[in-house]
């Protein structure tokens, strides 16, 4: 009967070690989940910030381009008002060139 007791003790030790291992795996799983959640949130924030910055830059660039076009249009209108004959001659020349280029394609 002396040999049965060590087997029972070994079985109890194994059961206790297995329960301890299960607790360790559960803690590790919880820690890993928290780590992933934290880094996922940080990554989401970083990507959101990058997208917001890109939108601001695009908006700023579009506003600058619109201002330049408006300025160029104003300058062109002023030039035409000062020199209407030159504007008509330039338009006539451009029309002739476009007409010759499009006629050559046929």
Strand ranges (E), 1-106: none
Q: What is the pLDDT of residues 24-83, one digit of tens each?
A: 899 999 888 888 888 888 888 888 889 999 999 999 999 999 999 999 999 888 988 898
Q: Which two tokens stand for residue 60?
A: 């700023």
Asked whether 88 and 80 are in contact (CB, 8 A), the reply is: no
Would you list the domain boundaries of the chain? 4-105
Percent of the chain residues topping a pLDDT of 70:
92
């Amino acid at each position: 009967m002396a040999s049965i007791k060590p087997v029972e003790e070994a079985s109890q030790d194994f059961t206790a070690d297995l329960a301890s291992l299960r607790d360790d795996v559960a803690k590790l799983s919880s820690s890993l989940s928290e780590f992933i959640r934290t880094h996922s949130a940080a990554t989401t924030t970083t990507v959101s910030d990058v997208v917001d910055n890109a939108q601001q830059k695009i908006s700023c660039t579009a506003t600058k381009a619109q201002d330049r076009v408006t300025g160029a249009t104003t300058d062109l209108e002023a030039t035409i008002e000062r020199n209407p004959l030159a504007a008509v001659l330039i338009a006539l020349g451009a029309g002739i060139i476009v007409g010759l280029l499009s006629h050559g394609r046929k």
